[in-house]
Amino acid sequence: MRARQCTRATCTAPAVATLTYVYADSTAVLGPLATHAEPHSYDLCTNHAERLTVPRGWDVVRLAGHFEPAPPSSDDLLALADAVREASRTPPPEHLPAARPVGAPASVTERRPPPEVGRRGHLRVIRGEGD
């Protein structure tokens, strides 16, 4: 899983803070990076979190004075370990057919897949060699 990025346009820095607006109180709340991305909040990098401005008459509540990138969670580490473990179990392929360029015609000796006879939902009926 990739680290979340700042939601400001064209910014690719990692997010370190989450901004949430409380419209009823005319307040912007800036705190540590939320555990999960929420649809009505904004993830900001250090630069944008420190330079935050709000509309005139609004208040800013800063729940943290200094923001640090979130460390990898145990879920991230477990997912990475599982992916590495799975990749080590899969034996490398013996022979891979040579890839032909996209749009290039198939060679005369290249075996074509049998045509589909019918399809129903997720099941397919495929014509065999002797049919």
pLDDT digits (tens, 9 = 90+) for 20-73: 999 999 999 998 888 888 888 999 999 999 899 999 999 999 887 666 666 555
Tokens of 117: 């006879």
Residue 5: HSE in the Cβ half-sphere, 13 Å Cα cutoff: 8
**What predicted TM-score, i.e. pTM, was given to this entire model?**
0.50
Average model confidence (pLDDT) for the chain? Answer: 76
d(CA 62, CA 115): 64
CA–CA gap between residue 21 and residue 40 (Å, rounded) = 8
> Per-residue pLDDT averaged across 122-128, rounded?
65
- Contacts of residue 72, defined as CB under 8 A and 6 or more positions apart, other chains included, come to none
Who wins on pLDDT, 131 or 87? 87
pLDDT at 28: 93
